[in-house]
Amino acid sequence: MMGPRETDPDRTSNCEHSGAHAVIATLEQVLAGVPVGEHTLELQCKKCTRKIRDGDEITVEASRMAEPLRWQLTRWWCPDCVPAPINSPTPEERTARCSCRVATISDGKTQHHWLCLLEPTVTAIVPPQVRHHHDSLSR
């Protein structure tokens, strides 16, 4: 009557926690909707100064500020001007690069319009400088 309970392979699979992936997913959520530039529609590629408009695809670089703890976009480029991947981590700062589209945000109250990130995809993350990695530092 009470046969041995068979182990269901579907139910015994361990939850696989991928820390890195979780971080990226969170970061993409955080970056979505972040304004590009100074709350303006006047946006240019940092290299060729081509105008970036609503719907354009761009690559942005974002840095995490310590105080207050938030992400701020520092640079952005059109698809033709994306430089080589970041290789110089800055102390106490985390930098991420992501590709995305830009969209216009409108504030009906203030009649203010600006561009923000839409559907960001993180392509690279540079962790804070590692202290015990002094051999590569020349100072």
Rule CB under 5 A: say whether 103 interacts with Zn ion.
Answer: no
Phi, psi of 53, rounded to the nearest 5 degrees: -120, 170
Closer of 64 and 75 to Zn ion (Cβ)? 75
CA distance 28 to 57: 16
Residue from 45, 58, 62, 125 that binds Zn ion (CB under 5 A)? 45
CA distance 79 to 56: 9
- Hey, what are 112's tokens? 């203010």
Q: Rule CB under 5 A: choose which of 43, 58, 60, 78 binds Zn ion.
A: 78
Q: Where does this chain touch Zn ion (CB under 5 A) — which range of 18-26, 40-48, 104-112, 125-133? A: 40-48
Distance CA 95, CA 127 (A): 7
To Zn ion, the closest distance from the beta carbon of 73 in angstroms equals 16
Which stretches of the chain bind Zn ion, using CB under 5 A?
A: 45, 47-48, 50, 78, 81
